[in-house]
């Protein structure tokens, strides 16, 4: 089981965008993080489709967050990039094979599926509890102010 690597990039981008205050083109975000420009563009498109960012065309265009950072949860970003489907998908094994249980008997979900669903919900709940604002605050706490200012300068240049 492996989450898309784009999730990490997307989250970093959200943090950067929140500090920028002005539209930031995808190329600049890619250079800043030293990742593939074309592939990062794909992730940003996914964020755009999910309505988390808005794109501006033309010169001095780029991406901007659509909401306050406190209104964007980590789960929002994860689901935008990696999809909202749960990692485990029950294939109804009990309805197959020589001892198949007829479908009309399966009114309650398979116990295994229930356990997995519960775990998945705990995972999502944990991600939903943290917002991008929390991340930004954490970064601000552990990073020197001068570094943050330097980043701001670099983004404008």
Partner DNA sequence: GTCGGTCTACTCGGATATCAGTTGTCCGAGTAGCAGTGG
Partner DNA sequence: CCACTGCTACTCGGACAACTGATATCCGAGTAGACCGAC
Residues of this chain that interact with DNA (CB under 7 A) are: 1-2, 4-6, 25-28, 36-39, 41-42, 44-45, 48-49, 55-63, 83
Work out the end-to-end distance of the chain between its first and last CA atoms, rounded to an integer number of angstroms: 40
Does 9 interact with a second copy (rule: CB under 8 A)?
yes
Q: How many residues bind a second copy (CB under 8 A)?
A: 58
Closest CB to a second copy among residues 56, 151: 151
Listed residue (46, 31, 54) closest to 157, CA to CA: 31
Partner whose footprint covers residue 61, from DNA, a second copy, none (CB < 5 to 8 Å by kind)? DNA
Partner whose footprint covers residue 118, from DNA, a second copy, none (CB < 5 to 8 Å by kind)? a second copy
The whole-angstrom separation of Cα 84 and Cα 81 is 9
Ranges within 105-144 binding a second copy (CB under 8 A): 108, 111-112, 114-116, 118-120, 122-127, 130, 134-135, 138-139, 142-143
Instruction: Provide the 3-class DSSP secondary structure of residue 2.
Output: coil
Does 83 interact with a second copy (rule: CB under 8 A)?
yes
Closest CB to DNA among residues 5, 109: 5
Residue partners of 93: CB distance under 8 A and separation at least 6: 110
With 0-12 / 13-18 / 19 or more C-beta atoms within 10 angstroms meaning exposed / middle / buried, residue 101 is: middle
The length of the chain in residues reads 157
Tokens found for residue 57: 């065309």
Tokens found for residue 56: 């501006």
Phi and psi for 62 in degrees, rounded to 5? 145, -155
Interacting residues with a second copy (CB under 8 A): 1-5, 7-9, 11-12, 31-35, 74, 82-83, 85, 87-91, 93-94, 96-101, 108, 111-112, 114-116, 118-120, 122-127, 130, 134-135, 138-139, 142-143, 147, 150-151, 154
């Amino acid at each position: 089981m492996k989450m898309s690597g784009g999730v990490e990039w997307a989250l970093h981008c959200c943090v950067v965008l929140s500090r920028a205050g002005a539209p930031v083109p995808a190329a600049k975000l890619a250079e800043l993080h030293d990742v593939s420009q074309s592939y990062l563009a794909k992730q940003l498109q996914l964020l755009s489709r999910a309505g988390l960012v808005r794109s501006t065309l033309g010169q001095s265009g780029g991406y901007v967050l659509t909401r306050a950072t406190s209104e964007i949860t980590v789960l929002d970003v994860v689901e935008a990039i990696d999809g909202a489907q749960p990692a485990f998908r029950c294939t109804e094994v009990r309805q197959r094979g020589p001892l198949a249980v007829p479908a009309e008997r399966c009114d309650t979900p398979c116990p295994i599926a229930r356990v997995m669903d519960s775990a998945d919900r705990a995972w999502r709940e944990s991600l939903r509890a943290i917002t991008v604002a929390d991340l930004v605050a954490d970064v601000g706490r552990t990073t020197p102010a001068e570094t943050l200012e330097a980043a701001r300068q670099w983004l404008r240049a």
